[in-house]
Amino acid sequence: MKKIIKILFLKILMLSCSTTEVKPPNVIIIISDDQGYADVGFHGSKEIFTPNIDRIAKNGVVFSEGYVSYAVCSPSRAGLITGRYQNRFGYTRNILLAPKDSLMGLPLSEQTLPDVLNNVNYKTKAIGKWHLGAHESLVPEKRGFDEFFGFIIGGHRYFPEDLTLNDLTEARKQMDGYITKIYDNGKRIETKKYLTEELSDNAVKFIQDNTENPFFLYLSYNAPHTPLQATKKDLERNMHIDIEKRRTYAAMVSSMDDGIGLILDKLDEKKLTDNTIVIFFSDNGGVEWYNFSDNGPLRGIKGDFFEGGIRVPFVMQWPNKIKAGTRYDKPIIALDIFQTVSVAASAEKYILNDIDGIDLLPYLTGQNSGSPHEYLFWKNPDKDIDVARDERYKYIRIKDDEFIFDLKNDISEEINIISSSKSIYQRLKSQFKEWEKDMIGPVFMDLGMGKEYNKINPDRWFNSSQEIQK
């Protein structure tokens, strides 16, 4: 009898050990483009409806002070994918489309998040907007991703009939990248659907095909970045919005939200939800005057380093680890995604460079108290802008003008308290100067420097015998 009991005990023990084996989480990072801070339901929008993005918020955590590391698209993505301030490697400009220039994009010295995850057998795919270099050495498949479906440049037209160029060998000007056919694992393909729908469908298929192994999906929507183009069905459900361009913008958000819903539904169907990290945020603030987004109470827009340019809608779910309905009110930054995911995947030992982000999970579970970051920093050398903030206060210098804002009581940055806050001013400025010592200036030309670049690089395009245009 004792022998039987002993055998049963050992079997139970073995079963217990096997069932407690921790499977690495799947990871999905979803990025919208130029979306306004106020244009999500979880920030109170009564005009633009985002039920599926709100599902992520409801099932996980809302970061009320979620930041990106730069106020425009390409540098923001460079920070995200490396976990490092892009100023460390001189990436502070939106890149030119220069498919023959190996230096126009993310430096090869920088390790990417998929580079790290490849060490622990993740299946990795980038879908949508890349915007980190068009040279053959800089495309997603050469920067850690197993697969890529999308477009290389910083924007794209949405309807398939507009895509008249086969590939970048036919490009003769910057905006030609907007009309190239979609890139699918080394081939240009004919698409049939609205761009956002194509990206969403491809994401769902990737999940369907990779249910047995951990995966990393980097889904970078073009929406609601210009051009303002929407389908009839999406426009029709936003007819309550009187301003036509605002209605089109809302319709573009609706399509993206639908796609996110399909992704969440597929996770549910495959019983992957509980052990999948899903993160959603915008790459920078909205361009209110141009794409008719709304940054709500925040001052400034995309390109600014007031809150409207860098504070964005930011949510995350991981049901196995993060309590549903959490709100986190301390500053975090997109740089944190690199470290958070690496630790979650047990891959942090493979990180080669010094990382500026931190693992957020201990703060979200209550294991760690206090603020994840003592200070956050931003610097735009071209516009002569310096920014530093702590948990409460923000210092910003724009050329000869300096400000101190109490963000806990003045989210709109209306009241400059610098005259009554000399000690805060000195501390934040001093911290910024110390951080700045490790940063470098821009290493490539900006999007607006096309004519100058063409003079220096007369063979910019693959067929340089044709006239080069801006």
> Hey, which residues are catalytic here?
73, 131
316 φ, ψ to 5°?
Answer: -150, 140
Rounded to the nearest 10 degrees, what angle do helices 244-269 and 195-209 cross at? 10
Residue 338, burial from CB neighbour count under 10 angstroms (0-12, 13-18, 19+): buried
Residues 282 and 35: their CA atoms lie apart, in Å, by 6
Residue 415, burial from CB neighbour count under 10 angstroms (0-12, 13-18, 19+): exposed
Tokens representing residue 383 in the block: 């516009």
DSSP 299: -
DSSP 253: H
Contact call for residues 30 and 278 (beta carbons, < 8 A)? yes
Residues 409 and 393: their CA atoms lie apart, in Å, by 10
Residues 339 and 347: their CA atoms lie apart, in Å, by 9
Whole-angstrom CA distances from 248 to 204, 258, 410 are: 25, 15, 32
Contact call for residues 156 and 178 (beta carbons, < 8 A)? yes
- DSSP letters of 322-372? S-TTEEE-S-EETTHHHHHHHHHTT-GGG--SPP-----HHHHTTSS-S-S
Whole-angstrom CA distances from 470 to 172, 173, 333 are: 8, 6, 35
